Structure 1
């Protein structure tokens, strides 16, 4: 029964994210919001909603290892496996602003994480912990990122006066609001099921909460990013695919961990330092690959995917 509920939870997360993205994107269109804001915020944050829900619920229940492990594991999976599979299907073209600002901002987010969780190393306290004040710092960084997104959108604003207030593609206000609410409700309930049942499975098999967060929960909650990015790549919309992944990674660390740690300070498992370092290395790889002819080629995508498989084997053995 536990496994069935876990699968139901994952299904609700995926389908809920799908409804949430569709509804909120249509509402943005009806509001005449520029496409750039929709791509960098609604799509990226919408696909990051499962990680947010799972991590916040885990924080409320005192499962810090699941909260942090889910965020770090999801980001590692996004940058390695999701980018790798997507690029292998169709090479990802990279716009220069993504290279110059967004990928470095994702790297800065990971650096901020490893600094703020290193209380013992910095001789702040005897216990490594992401505190409420650390959470506030994360949210301040997130507000800077949002400011950048809004300014970028203003600078590249397209003429939207010809967009009708209602069309067959966007639907009515009422329909889109309903779809958005239903999607959000499915994400929240699905996140609850995933946290409860994956933690139960961890205890049954003697697995640590950290391992469960880095693997089962991270993979399940990252499925929306994988599905969205692969779909975008197949439609040859590689900017959306890569922007979705980078935006989600920034959102996960700065917003999700920020909110989670404000709800409840998060003790840090020492094993997670290795995983954050892996995340930093992967972000550098992505930056380097993105600068080669301004695209992530199939061969580079294959390297990233293999990297994740090797990493996954290692952390399973490490447990």
Structure 2
């Protein structure tokens, strides 16, 4: 029965996130909020809401290993697998805002997280932690990133044609159903992850780095594959890098403000892997002909993820 609830948790969580985003987007457009603002906000929620809900429940329940590993595993998968598979289908042209703004900020966020878990002022009773002060710093940096995004996006012409609006009552129902789905989905996933870990003798961190990270990244993976098939592969790298930024600044920021998160020494390797994956992306984008991720580079990224999985599982 626990396995059923574990699987249902992912379905309900992703479904709830979809309903909430749909309803919130419709309400935002009805209130006349500019499309540029709602666009990034909804995208940010869409890519990071599953991880955020899981981390909130994990933090409240004291499953801090799951909270950290979920973010690290998702970021590794976003960069190496989502970008890698998309590039294998069709080489990815990297747009100017992505390589001038998003990729450097993503590298900065990863570097800052690495500094915070290594620096002495994050120590508490001999164990490294991501404390409330760290969480507040992350959230402040998120606001800075959003400000930079809106300033740079305001210079880009936008299509002002609004999409078809749902009736207001339907949007509200979607929001309410989405909140309910997020609550039960998040709770069932955390409880299921703890159960699966105990049944198979695996750590919560391993479950978070693999099963939970893969499941919560499925929407981005499917979206990126479809974008590549429809000859718009540039969406994949923008979504992946944006998701990595929000996972660190928003998800870890909110989670650590709710409850300080101990950072176990075993997670240092995974954090280094996030840094390696991000640096690899930087090297591939800024070297070679043009700003492209080629099929060969995509294959290398997939291979790196395969080696990483083998290392943590065996």
Cα offset, 1:123, TM superposition: 7.2
Which residue is equivalent to 2:301?
304
Unaligned runs of 5+ in 2: none
- Cα 1:206–1:102 change in 2 (3 A) is same
Which residue is equivalent to 1:294?
291
Pairwise mapping of residues 186-265 of structure 1 onto structure 2 (< 5 A)? 186-265=181-260
Q: Secondary structure at the match of 2:24?
A: helix
The 8 Å contact of residues 40 and 244 in structure 1, kept in 2 or not, is answered as no
C-alpha separation between the residues in 2 aligned to 1:125 and 1:78? Answer: 34
Which residue is equivalent to 1:18?
18
Q: Deviations over 1:253-299 (max 9, x none)?
A: 11111111111111111011111111111111112222342222222
Pairwise mapping of residues 87-106 of structure 1 onto structure 2 (< 5 A)? 87-106=87-106
User: Would you say 1:42 and 2:42 are equivalent positions?
Assistant: yes
- Cα 1:24–1:226 change in 2 (3 A) is farther
Q: Secondary structure at the match of 1:48?
A: helix
The 8 Å contact of residues 40 and 247 in structure 1, kept in 2 or not, is answered as no
Which residue is equivalent to 1:114?
114
C-alpha separation between the residues in 2 aligned to 1:118 and 1:66? Answer: 20
Which residue is equivalent to 1:53?
53
Q: Comparing 194-203 with 115-124, which one deviates more in the overlay? A: 115-124
Which residue is equivalent to 2:145?
145
- Cα 1:156–1:189 change in 2 (3 A) is same
The 8 Å contact of residues 98 and 243 in structure 1, kept in 2 or not, is answered as yes
Which residue is equivalent to 2:136?
136
C-alpha separation between the residues in 1 aligned to 2:227 and 2:29? Answer: 19
Which residue is equivalent to 2:76?
76
Cα offset, 1:143, TM superposition: 1.0
Cα offset, 1:38, TM superposition: 4.4
The TM-score, its normalising length taken from structure 1, stands at 0.90
Q: How many residues align?
A: 312
Q: Secondary structure at the match of 1:222?
A: helix
- Cα 1:74–1:276 change in 2 (3 A) is same
Q: Comparing 80-89 with 106-115, which one deviates more in the overlay? A: 80-89
- Cα 1:12–1:90 change in 2 (3 A) is farther
Unaligned runs of 5+ in 1: none
C-alpha separation between the residues in 2 aligned to 1:30 and 1:212? Answer: 41
What RMSD over aligned residues (CA atoms) do the two structures have, in Å?
Answer: 2.2
- Cα 1:187–1:226 change in 2 (3 A) is farther
C-alpha separation between the residues in 1 aligned to 2:87 and 2:25? Answer: 25
The TM-score, its normalising length taken from structure 2, stands at 0.91
Which residue is equivalent to 1:178?
173
- Cα 1:123–1:23 change in 2 (3 A) is closer
